[in-house]
Amino acid sequence: MARLYRKMASLISLIAILLIAIQYGQSNAELTAIKHLPKNNGNLSILIIGDWGRKGTYNQSKVSYQMGVIGKELDIDYVISTGDNFYENGLTGVKDSQFEESFSDIYTAQSLKTPWYLVLGNHDYRGDVLAQLDPILRKKDERFICMRNFIVNSGVVDFFMVDTTPFQESYWTNPGTDKYDWRQVAPRDTYISNLLQELDGALKESKAQWKFVVGHHTMRSVSDHGDTQELLELLLPILKENDVDMYINGHDHCLEHISSNDSKLQYITSGGGSKAWRNVYKENQDTLKFFYDGQGFMSLQVTQSEAKFVFYDAFGNDIYKWRTTRPSQSTQEF
């Protein structure tokens, strides 16, 4: 009976989420707020994955299977995607079969049949971006909730989902043979200015115990893409000013944890959803805690007094664990 009540509560929550998302569908830098409270006495449990949409290839299916196992074990509330949801060039439209071939037909475990909150990556911008944002996709698979910029309020924690692709100036000025869909974004400077203003205000208004920002692009990384200078210059000061606890991203196809040397901010990369093994290592001026140049994903559990995450490889092995606690802000690997 208790399980039935939990399923009914989850269904009601999902319906409310979809109604909010459809009603307030975004076209610019405005941050839509979605409330998704944890089902386990206010304690949140989620999975985070990035850079995955390859029709099951490059171990995407293996990672998906292990996500299902860990998702069931942790009784997760939802999944967050850090972007690059469909390779190589996003979706061609709302009828693109890759939506099913890379998402619906891959993440089939019962534990993963929960809302997925997704940000866009640079590869998504190389297709029809408006297709990924279209509520029609939610009719095909009700889990898929993708917007440019939005907030997921989960009681003890607020996730600020940020569209980082427009920050990268080279995509605008030197895209090479790639084509980016800048509809409802251009002009760049206005979009970024409005977004930063919205984000700063939302962070200041947040009453959550924990504040996490999610974007696609790396801010700090020792892997292939390295640091993203535009984010360090434009976004990082706002994160530090507002005491953000974590910046979580994809883009580099690896799992890594870098700790800021001059703030409490933790830089977390979860971009191992499919193709990986870049065999690249770059020095970083902040403190590298962990780096795995392979496929995998992460879990994140948050309570009023503790936040902890675990990295898993494609075989479900937990390869790194870390946690921090309140109010003393003690941190440790465990």
Q: Write out the catalytic residue numbers.
A: 225
Phi, then psi, of 291 in degrees rounded to 5: -150, 125
| CA–CA gap between residue 247 and residue 137 (Å, rounded) | 28
| CA–CA gap between residue 261 and residue 204 (Å, rounded) | 23
Residues 6+ apart with CB under 8 A from 24: 32
Phi, then psi, of 308 in degrees rounded to 5: -140, 145
Buried b (16+ CB within 10 A) or exposed e, 239-271: beebebbbbbbbbbbbbbbbbbeeeebbbbbbb
| CA–CA gap between residue 261 and residue 235 (Å, rounded) | 17
| CA–CA gap between residue 266 and residue 289 (Å, rounded) | 10
